Every structure is written in C-alpha cells, then in structure tokens.
Structure 1
Amino acid sequence: MINVNINDNWNELIKRFQSLDIYYSQEYVSLSADIEKGEPEAFFLENEWGRLFYPYVKRKIDVNKNYYDIITPYGYGGPMYEGDKRILNQFYSEFKKYCIDHDIITETIRLHPLLNITDEVRKIIPVGFIRNTTAVDLREPLEKIKNNYSSSNKRNINKAIKEGVRAVVSNDKKDIEVFIELYYETMDRNKATPFYYFNKSYFYRLMEETELSKPYLLFAEKDGKKIAGLIVIMGKEFAHYHLGASKTEFLNYRPNNLLFDKMIELSKSMNLKALHLGGGYTDNDSLFKFKTSFTNNFNFEYYLGKHILNKSVYKDLSKVVKNSLKTSSDNSYFPQYRMNG
C-alpha cells in the first residue's frame, strides 16, 4: 500500500485506472485541501484482486491539534477500486491501522452517488443518508432529454430567449473575474456561510485542466452584459455542474434556465454518461426542484460515511466542544467536535 502526498506526482498512479472521476486528481484534492484547511493525501493499493485509489484531505482538529481527521474533497469521493471487491476489505484492514498509528480520529466520506461504491463501503463503516441528487442521462438523444424538461422549465427557457438572453461558452480567462463578481453577489443573496466565499485563487486554479478533467465557463448574456454564469467540469465518464452565479436584478429573465440548457447541450457533445447536477441545500428544496426540472427525476442517493477510528478520543474531544456550545448540540452532526455554537 502506497501513501502519497503533495510532494509526490499522483498522475502515474491515476493513469493505471480506466475511469477515475474529476475529484480524484492531485490538483483538485490540493484545491480542496486549501478550503478545508488541511493537507492532500492519497492511498494506492494494487494486488491480485485489483487496484484501489483513495484521495482525501487530512486536517488538524482545532480543539486538540495533536489529533487529525480526514475528509474527502469538496464534492464527492471515497475509495475507488477496479477489480474484486475484496480489495476494499483488505485496504480498510491496513488503512485503519495507519490512521490509529498517525492519530487520525475520524474519517468522513462524501460518497460519490454515481460510482456505486456506497453499498460496499457501508458493509465496513457506518453511513448515513444525506439527500437525493439528480443527473441528466446523457445516453439519451438530446431531443428526448429536452422533451423531458418540465413544462415550467420549457416556458422559462422560452422566456429567456424572447427577452434577448443568450447562453455562450467563454474561452477568455479574463471572464473568470466576471464570474467571481457574480458568484460573490450570489453568496451574499443566499446568505452563504464563510466556507463558500472561496478566494480568487480558487477559481483560477479550478479552471485549469487536469489529467482527469476539463472545466468550462458558461455565461448568460443580455445586451452584451453577463448576467449569470456557471462552471461545469467534464470528466472521463461524467460531467459535473460545479458552481453557479447570477445578478439579482436579472433573475426575472430566467438566465439560469437557459444556462443549464446550454450546459446540457455542451455535456451531451462530450460523449459522456451523465451530467451530475447535485442536490439541494436540503432534501427536496426549491434548488433541487429546479435541477430535477431538467433531469426527468434521474435521481441518486447521497450518503455520508461516518467512521470513528478512535472512540475514546472522539468522545473526549466531542465532550469539550459540546460543553462550550451556547446552544443545544445536534447529535446527528459528524464529527461532533467540529460543531460550531
């Protein structure tokens, strides 16, 4: 079993796999490590049963910096393997020892809904259902995909077109600055938590092509003015809607409906299996309903792996944080010691 970090070149390991998704590249994990305030690491295992690759972010625990935890990158992840599922059991028997020896207290996995690894992982560690996500089935003809849009979605797309809105793919790096401004305005409007106010460097790094992905920046324009935008990342098998942004004063022109329609056209042209739109903030909220208006309810279940590796230390750390909280604690939150009061 090989442990790699920021100083190693992961690409030679990545090239041994047929279809790792965008979240498994060294560049993407490093980017996520910056926003998670941790260090990028990965494990690679290869034997007679197949091969396995598992990238994650290793973070110091604030309440006691002698201890660490690990979390998969922003988006989705988990130990991805090709071959016999027995390799997963062998990996975890070795990985647990590594974690305990290196003072890693918990493992949090944002299990990739499209990769069919949840059923095997849940046999080894506890998992909890978070919410549904949705995707566009790109194996269908484009005409059928569009016919399956909800009637209200079709009306909103037509409204945008009649109002003179057009959707374009940008090839100008200067447009990243335009998107950043739109994004911050959107976060203000949605009263987002500080985590989602990514710094400018994040967006520039995100737009770099990697061994596993190619990002695209799309805009909705009206009268020559960019009024909404989104970033979609194309992988080997799947496209992923990553971030969206829009100017508040132009929302009535329905630019986002037209943008998503353009994103679907672009993704369809890449010969991929699906365009994953993700979920809502909560299950079945207005954002999720907007996304499913494009997908004909091609939905997936998103689970979170919640693995406590050192129960006694976990209990002690969580107790310290709970005692410091001004409000009652949420027992479903994981890990408990990362709750904010």
Structure 2
Amino acid sequence: MINVVTAKQDWYSILQEINNYDFYHTYDYHQLSKKEEEEPLLLVYREKNVLIALPLLIRTIANSAYCDATSVYGYGGPLVSGVSEDYDFSKFHMALNTYFDEKKIISVFSRLHPYFPMQEKVITNLGSIEDLGRVVNIDLTKTLEEQVQHYSNTTKRYLKKGLKNISIVVSNKKEDIDTFIALYNENMERVNAKKHYFFNDEYFLQFANSTEFTTEFTFAVLNETQKIISAAMIIKTNSKFVQYHLSGTLTDYLHLTPIRLLIDAARISGTNEGYTYFNLGGGLGSNNDSLYSFKSSFSDDFKQFKIWKYIVNHEKYNELVAQNPSLQEKETDTISFFPLYRFDV
C-alpha cells in the first residue's frame, strides 16, 4: 500500500529515516519549485524493514479528468532503505500502479539522481530509463591535494592568478542576496536563457531560509575595488552532498573566470566539513558542450545522469497524443519530449 505524505514534518521524518537524500528530495525544495497547478507528494511504501519514498509533482491535464506526475528540476527519483541487493520490487510496483490507477495518473516523468545507483533497480520494468549525459563530481573524500591533481592546467593557472586579485566571501544577508539575484539575472539575459531559468526573488529567499539544507551565497570580490564580480549558490545537504546550483558573472569580468575560484572555495569548505560529493552538474541540456568542458576541468570523476519515463495508461496516453494539435503532420517517433501529449511547438 502507498501512503501519501504532504505535511512538512512527516516528509522530513521519512527522509531522516532513510538518511540518504539530497536537497532535491526535500519538502522545502518541492514547495519552492512547484508551479501553481502542481501538487508535491511523497509516496511512501513499507514492507517489514524496507522503506521506499518517491517524491513527485502531480499535475492535472487540461480538458481531461486525468493527471500525470513529474519531478522537480534537478536530481530526484526514489529513495530506499533496508533493501538488499536481491530484493524483489514487484510488490512495490503493484502498489504503485494501484495508486496511479486510482488517482488517474496516466504517465510519470522523473529526473534521477546520478549518485543513487539503486534507483534503477527500484523502477526497473516500469517504463524506460534513458541516459542523458554525464555530470562532474569532485570526490571530497580525497585530500585537498589529491583533488587538485585532477584539475586541468588551465584551471590551475586561472586559480593561481585569480587568488592574487580576488577574495571569496560567503554571505546570506538580504542585501547580498539581492546582489546575487541581479547578477544572476544579468547573466541569464546575456546568454539568452530560457524562461524556466529565471526565478522570482522569493525563490532565492526561501533557499536561504530553509532548515532542511544549507544555502551559501558565495561571492567573488575584486580586491582593488571591492566590487562583486561573480557569485554562486552552493547547497549542502545531509552531511554528504554539495551542489553547485546557480551562478553568474558580470560580463566585464568573464575573462577572469572567477567562477573557478568560487567552485574551488566550495570544494575546500565541503572537504573540511566532511562532505562526500561535490556535484558540479553537466552541460546545458545534458550536452557535452563548453559548460560541460569547463566543469570537467575540475575532475575526471563522472556520473551518469538518467531520466525515467513511464506510461501507466497507454490507451489514454495515446488518445491525448492524438488530440494534440502541435503533433499534427509530425513524425512523433522522432520527438523525445515526454509526455508527448504536452508537447508544444
């Protein structure tokens, strides 16, 4: 049987019981990430000492009595505890399908977490799992000196030069968060980022105020003028994960690549505080692009980023696909977008 958790304290208690999660799985992140029409849920399954928790966002489908489910932006997917290598997930699958049928949820999409390999076993035989690309990890269990050995010569050179002229400051003061927001927005406008990369001010403030994870607004300050030229949001969770979340650099200072110093500072603090992973993420849209090349200049420890696509009700899914005007006269087999009935030109 699936139990549905929506209250913050109950959600938090489940995560604490599992004791292996990232900020993407938390109640707070789901609340600040959800759109107006989305309802965050934590689906919980228990069997003896086994506990499985699946966080999702439930969405109604326009002009339909049906719903579907998706995940927050980032790295989500199921969490488990008490599961052996040979555990049979078939009872969980039956319970999950029963819940989906009862709630008229016809499809499920979820981004998976590259650092939880057990996730694939949890959902094997439920739809498909697809590789999207690799993300870059700095192994914080190594010594600081060992980590630097994996830096590219270019990164080492920029760090050596930058440390002479730039200082790193961490501050969650309101005025500094406002500075971060302005800098980040300028950066997104410069690169013509898509709409979903822009956030309202409350989004950043909720990050700063959350008690379920730690957000460090980290700034690169030019020593000569005390001007903030670059900034990053570093998220730390559960004494295990450090995440490089959002960042930006003023256009006039891009040639200094001060982001390298921000990442290096977060690596040092994360190591000293006993964290395990520092995930830098991958390229834009999971591509092996210039952003991915930049991140891989810090480490050659790569993890695979995957997504989960599951059609629960094929009949209704196909019916909705056929009704989508954006798909008229298109070869749907060539479109990877999921769920396909939500495809919009």
| TM-based fold match above 0.5 | yes
Does the C-alpha gap of structure 1 residues 143 and 165 become closer, same or farther in structure 2, counting only changes over 3 Å? same
**Whole-Å Cα distance in 2 between the matches of residues 172 and 8 of structure 1?**
27
Instruction: Confirm or deny: 8 A CA contact 2:79 2:119 kept in the other structure.
Output: no
Instruction: Confirm or deny: 8 A CA contact 1:170 1:216 kept in the other structure.
Output: yes
- In the other structure, the counterpart of 2:243 is 240
- In the other structure, the counterpart of 2:195 is 194
TM-score of the aligned structures, taking structure 1 as reference length: 0.92
**Whole-Å Cα distance in 2 between the matches of residues 113 and 193 of structure 1?**
24
Q: How does 1:208-219 map to 2 (within 5 A)?
A: 208-211=209-212, 213-219=213-219
Cα displacement (A) at 1:83? 1.5
Does the C-alpha gap of structure 1 residues 265 and 318 become closer, same or farther in structure 2, counting only changes over 3 Å? same
SS of the residue aligned with 1:245?
A: strand
- Structure 2 residue corresponding to 1:133, chosen from 129, 132, 135: 135
Which shifted more, 132-141 or 74-83?
74-83
Output the amino acid matched with 2:194.
T
- In the other structure, the counterpart of 1:117 is 118
**Whole-Å Cα distance in 2 between the matches of residues 241 and 167 of structure 1?**
15
- In the other structure, the counterpart of 1:306 is 309
**Whole-Å Cα distance in 2 between the matches of residues 210 and 105 of structure 1?**
34
Percent identity between the two aligned chains: 30
Instruction: Confirm or deny: 8 A CA contact 1:165 1:253 kept in the other structure.
Output: no
Output the amino acid matched with 2:132.
I
SS of the residue aligned with 2:158?
A: helix
**Whole-Å Cα distance in 1 between the matches of residues 9 and 166 of structure 2?**
46
- In the other structure, the counterpart of 2:59 is 59
Which shifted more, 1-10 or 187-196?
1-10
Q: How does 1:86-235 map to 2 (within 5 A)?
A: 86=87, 88-121=89-122, 123-125=124-126, 126-162=128-164, 164-211=165-212, 213-222=213-222, 223-235=225-237
Q: How does 1:64-83 map to 2 (within 5 A)?
A: 64-83=63-82
- In the other structure, the counterpart of 1:47 is 47
Output the amino acid matched with 1:291.
K
- Structure 2 residue corresponding to 1:266, chosen from 253, 265, 269: 269
**Whole-Å Cα distance in 1 between the matches of residues 215 and 96 of structure 2?**
32
SS of the residue aligned with 1:161?
A: helix
Cα displacement (A) at 1:270? 1.9
**Whole-Å Cα distance in 1 between the matches of residues 8 and 171 of structure 2?**
33
**Whole-Å Cα distance in 2 between the matches of residues 180 and 128 of structure 1?**
34
SS of the residue aligned with 2:58?
A: strand
| Unaligned residue ranges in structure 2 (runs of 5+) | none
- In the other structure, the counterpart of 1:315 is 318
| Unaligned residue ranges in structure 1 (runs of 5+) | none
Does the C-alpha gap of structure 1 residues 7 and 264 become closer, same or farther in structure 2, counting only changes over 3 Å? closer
SS of the residue aligned with 1:10?
A: helix
Output the amino acid matched with 1:258.
L
Which shifted more, 226-235 or 84-93?
84-93
**Whole-Å Cα distance in 2 between the matches of residues 124 and 228 of structure 1?**
45
Corresponding residue pairs, total: 336
Cα displacement (A) at 1:14? 2.5
Does the C-alpha gap of structure 1 residues 323 and 184 become closer, same or farther in structure 2, counting only changes over 3 Å? closer
Does residue 4 (structure 1) correspond to residue 8 (structure 2)? The answer is no
Does the C-alpha gap of structure 1 residues 248 and 322 become closer, same or farther in structure 2, counting only changes over 3 Å? same
Does residue 338 (structure 1) correspond to residue 335 (structure 2)? The answer is no
Output the amino acid matched with 2:109.
T
Cα displacement (A) at 1:174? 2.1
**Whole-Å Cα distance in 2 between the matches of residues 88 and 56 of structure 1?**
19
Output the amino acid matched with 1:124.
N
Output the amino acid matched with 1:251.
L
Does the C-alpha gap of structure 1 residues 324 and 127 become closer, same or farther in structure 2, counting only changes over 3 Å? closer
Instruction: Confirm or deny: 8 A CA contact 2:326 2:344 kept in the other structure.
Output: no
SS of the residue aligned with 1:176?
A: helix
**Whole-Å Cα distance in 1 between the matches of residues 159 and 182 of structure 2?**
24
Does the C-alpha gap of structure 1 residues 130 and 121 become closer, same or farther in structure 2, counting only changes over 3 Å? farther
**Whole-Å Cα distance in 2 between the matches of residues 204 and 3 of structure 1?**
28
Query: CA RMSD, aligned part only?
Result: 2.0
**Whole-Å Cα distance in 1 between the matches of residues 7 and 245 of structure 2?**
24
Output the amino acid matched with 2:38.
G
**Whole-Å Cα distance in 1 between the matches of residues 209 and 61 of structure 2?**
30
Does residue 287 (structure 1) correspond to residue 291 (structure 2)? The answer is yes
TM-score of the aligned structures, taking structure 2 as reference length: 0.91
Cα displacement (A) at 1:275? 0.5
- In the other structure, the counterpart of 2:252 is 249
